[in-house]
């Protein structure tokens, strides 16, 4: 048996550092005490979610290698990037709230005098290896070191396109605090983040950092970085509330009824950052289409258009078989159908949700045209009537 233990230890030593570390000790004991942990794994709201592609590999291969659709999965030219400068983000936002989408799910939120960085991914690939895996389609708008001090880094879950080893190692050398779902702290400690800088939360738990209240809220997804997917780290969406503003970051999630509860408890929100990319009929339970993402936003806002909705989790990496530009087009169509303002900045372009929103469909300059009917959500009749009345009131007041 000692020979087998030596072999096992040797194999662990050969694992890439990016695999991170499994929870152990008191952290693992706390995980096992979680009301959301059962039968050795974390459980999804709304029942079991399929985390592997449904259907046959033959069906998937037909879609993946389709000669007509495959060229649409990448831009035809250089993706425009706003070269964010310190001048863009040094002056406090006039409204007290400013968002800068850095690409994919990475967002700098400046809220009521505090700076929150969601899911920072500055690495070239979302992969444990530097030579393989999905590669960035556009550069980061600015070096991570040029971002300036950040009060808190928020991680939604431990997948490579949300928890990036190079980015975490760079931030480990600062004094920022990390807010992470239960179990994810094991990776960060393994990479050099001290335990006293970790705020590790289960769903519905909150932490106070400066003048902000951060709450880990449910999501419908899964976890895993290594060869074995132990489901021992939690995934989450996040509500962040300041003295004057509230924002929401979905992380990765499938659509579920829990958005209504999150909105009732923590909303309405001045801005939401909603995952609307990397969806597929092969994995419908764990990622949202733009139509579902818009429905989620409305649920979070009490059923009616409110605040600004910014689509995330698209444009930077090719992670599914849909057209590269499809999430942007579909989100605009969904927002127009229900009267919901949508912000679609180029990566690196700061904007204030309380002001004029970036709405130009910039991706059309570098993508093949898309012609299809987009499925869109519908407002309930009483909600739609109320929204029309509110719009009429605004016109009369102006």
pLDDT in tens, 345-385: 999 999 999 999 999 999 999 999 998 899 999 887 766 55
**Residue range 252-274: average pLDDT?**
98
Report whether pLDDT(180) > 80: yes
| % of the chain with per-residue pLDDT over 70 | 86
Q: 43-47, 58-62, 229-233: which range is least confident on average?
A: 58-62
Helices (H), the chain: 2-14, 25-33, 57-64, 86-90, 165-172, 185-190, 258-266, 290-300, 326-338, 381-397
- What integer pLDDT is reported at residue 65 of this predicted model? 53
pLDDT in tens, 272-283: 999 999 999 888
Is residue 314 helix, strand or coil?
coil
Phi and psi torsions of 138, nearest 5°: -150, 155
Query: What is the average pLDDT score of the chain?
Result: 89
Give the pairing of strands 152-154 and 177-181: parallel
Is residue 397 helix, strand or coil?
helix
**Residue range 380-395: average pLDDT?**
54
Region of residue 29 (left: phi > 0; alpha: psi -120 to 50; beta: else): alpha
Q: What pTM does this model have?
A: 0.91
- What integer pLDDT is reported at residue 232 of this predicted model? 85
Report whether pLDDT(52) > 70: no
Report whether pLDDT(86) > 70: yes
Please report the DSSP string for 258-282 in residue order: HHHHHHHHH---SEEEEE-SS--TT
Band the pLDDT of 47: cuts 50, 70, 90. confident
Residues in Cβ contact with 259 at an 8 Å cutoff, skipping those fewer than 6 apart: 295, 296, 299, 300
> How far is 201 from 183, CA to CA, in rounded Å?
9
- What integer pLDDT is reported at residue 35 of this predicted model? 96
Q: 78-82, 184-188, 231-235, 389-393: which range is least confident on average?
A: 389-393
The residue ranking higher by pLDDT, 73 or 250, is: 250
User: In what helix (H) or strand (E) does residue 152 lie, and over which residues does it extend?
Assistant: strand 152-154
Band the pLDDT of 387: cuts 50, 70, 90. low
- What integer pLDDT is reported at residue 229 of this predicted model? 54
- What integer pLDDT is reported at residue 283 of this predicted model? 85
């Amino acid at each position: 048996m000692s020979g087998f233990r030596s072999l096992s230890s040797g194999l662990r030593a050969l694992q890439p550092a990016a695999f991170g570390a499994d929870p152990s000790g008191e952290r693992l004991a706390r995980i096992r005490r979680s009301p959301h942990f059962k039968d050795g794994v974390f459980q999804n709201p709304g029942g079991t979610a399929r985390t592997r592609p449904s259907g046959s590999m033959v069906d998937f291969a037909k879609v993946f290698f389709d000669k007509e659709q495959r060229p649409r999965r990448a831009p035809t030219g250089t993706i425009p990037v706003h070269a964010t400068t310190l001048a863009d983000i040094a002056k406090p936002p006039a409204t007290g709230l400013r968002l800068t989408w850095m690409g994919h799910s990475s967002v700098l939120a400046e809220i009521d005098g505090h700076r929150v960085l969601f899911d920072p991914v500055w690495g070239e690939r979302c992969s444990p290896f530097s030579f393989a895996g999905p590669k960035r389609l556009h550069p980061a708008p600015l070096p991570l070191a040029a971002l300036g001090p950040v009060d808190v880094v928020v991680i939604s879950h431990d997948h490579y396109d949300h928890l990036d080893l190079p980015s975490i190692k760079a931030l480990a050398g600062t004094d920022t605090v990390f807010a992470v779902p239960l179990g994810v702290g094991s990776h960060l400690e393994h990479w050099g983040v001290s335990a006293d800088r970790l705020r590790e939360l289960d769903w519905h738990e909150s932490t106070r950092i400066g003048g902000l209240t951060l709450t880990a809220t449910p999501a419908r997804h899964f976890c895993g970085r290594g060869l074995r997917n132990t489901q021992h780290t939690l995934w989450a969406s996040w509500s962040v509330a300041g003295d004057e503003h509230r924002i929401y970051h979905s992380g990765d999630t499938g659509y579920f009824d829990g958005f209504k509860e999150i909105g009732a408890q923590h909303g309405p929100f001045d801005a939401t950052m909603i995952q609307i990319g990397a969806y597929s009929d092969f994995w419908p339970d764990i990622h949202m289409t733009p139509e579902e993402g818009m429905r989620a936003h409305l649920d979070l806002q009490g059923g009616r258009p409110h605040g600004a909705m910014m689509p995330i989790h698209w444009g930077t990496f090719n992670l599914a078989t849909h057209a590269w530009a499809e999430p942007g087009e579909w989100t605009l169509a969904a927002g127009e159908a229900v009267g919901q303002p949508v912000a679609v900045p180029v990566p690196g372009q700061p904007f204030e949700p309380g002001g004029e929103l970036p709405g130009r469909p910039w991706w059309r300059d570098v993508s093949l045209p898309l012609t299809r009917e987009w499925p869109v959500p519908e407002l309930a009749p009483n909600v739609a009537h109320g929204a029309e009345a509110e719009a009429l009131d605004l016109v009369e007041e102006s």
